[in-house]
Amino acid sequence: MESRKKKQFSATVKQTDQLLDIWIEILSQSIHTQKILYDSVMILRLVKWFIMLLIKQLIKNSPQLVTRKISVLYFYITAAA
C-alpha cells in the first residue's frame, strides 16, 4: 500500500513538473510576443511621424502637387464607394 502511494505521489510530482515546464514556455512566448508587438507599434509610430514630416515638407515646397495628389486620392476613394 505504501509503495502504491509513493508511486502515485511520484507520478503527481512528475506531472506537476511537466505542467510547470509548459507554463514557463507559454509565459516566455507571451513575453516575446509582447516585445514584438511593442516594437511593431514603435516602428509604426516612427513611420507615421516620418510620413508627416515628408507631407509637411511637400506642402511647404510644392502645394500645387499636393493639391493634385489629394484630388486623385479623392477621386479613387469616391469611385470605390
pLDDT, residue 1, reads 63
**For the chain, how many structural domains are there in total?**
1
**pTM for the whole thing?**
0.49
CA distances from 59 to 1, 5, 77, 81 (A): 86, 80, 21, 27
pLDDT, residue 25, reads 92
- Rounded Cα gap, residues 73 and 50, in angstroms: 20
- In sequence order, which residues have a C-beta less than 8 Å from that of residue 55 and are 6 or more positions away? 66
**Residue 57 DSSP one-character state:** H
Its domain, for residue 71, covers: 2-80
Tell me: the pLDDT tens digits for 12-66?
A: 999 999 999 999 999 999 998 998 889 888 888 888 888 888 888 888 888 887 7
